[in-house]
Amino acid sequence: MSVKALDSAIGDSERVLFDSSALIAFHTRREAAHPLAQHLLRRIEEDGDSLRGYYSVISATELLIRPLRTGVAEFTFMHAFLTTYPNLTLLPVDLTVATQAATLRAISGIRLPDAIVVASGLLAGCEAIVTNDEDWRRKLAGAFRDFKWIYLGDFI
């Protein structure tokens, strides 16, 4: 694991969008990317670090499905994480996000839920996205050159 290389890739970004797979990796110890996701979320938690995290409604939905199937305690735990984790903010979806997501889908062919996640981050002023999905960078990096596409698999 190269935490230093990950921090270097994020650079001076202060607003980072986490996609569902990165947040799931944080909660799943058997995931290869778990230590990297854990490192980043610990940075976000620290008030002395300028890094702040954001996530979309789509990611919140995806993170709540398994806990809802598993039981009340698991749902309560995940809901508490999503609502109380320090410096981690839920991004709303509105018509502006829907329009940007439709544009992303039209130009790249990215799946609609993924387009909503990315559109949410772009419109919120996020400078980087942390994902466990290599496909996003390949499909979207050319259109958004100033945006940092952080694929956790690159640092494992």
Q: What is the pLDDT of residues 91-149, one digit of tens each?
A: 999 999 999 999 999 999 999 999 999 999 999 999 999 998 888 788 887 878 888 99
Q: Looking at residue 140, what is its pLDDT?
A: 82
The domain total for the chain is: 1
What pLDDT shows up at residue 135?
Answer: 80
| CATH of residue 148 | 3.40.50.1010
Residue 127 backbone class (left: φ over 0; alpha: ψ -120 to 50; beta: rest): alpha
User: What does the pLDDT look like over 28-69, one tens digit per residue?
Assistant: 999 999 999 999 999 999 999 999 999 999 999 999 999 999
Predicted confidence band of residue 1 (pLDDT cuts 50, 70, 90): low
**Residue 149 lies in domain:** 3-155
pLDDT of amino acid 48: 95
Neighbours of 73 (CB within 10 A): 9
Nearest Cα to 17, choosing from 148, 143, 155, 137?
A: 148
Cβ-count burial 86-115 (b if 16+ within 10 Å, e if not): ebbeebebeeebeebbeebbeebebeebbb
DSSP annotation string for 32-94: TTHHHHHHHHHHHH-TTS--EEEEEHHHHHHHHHHHHHH-HHHHHHHHHHHHHSTTEEEEP--
Residues 151, 136: Cα–Cα separation, whole Å:
9
- The side-by-side arrangement of strands in the sheet containing 88-91 is 88-91, 52-56, 15-18, 128-131, 148-151
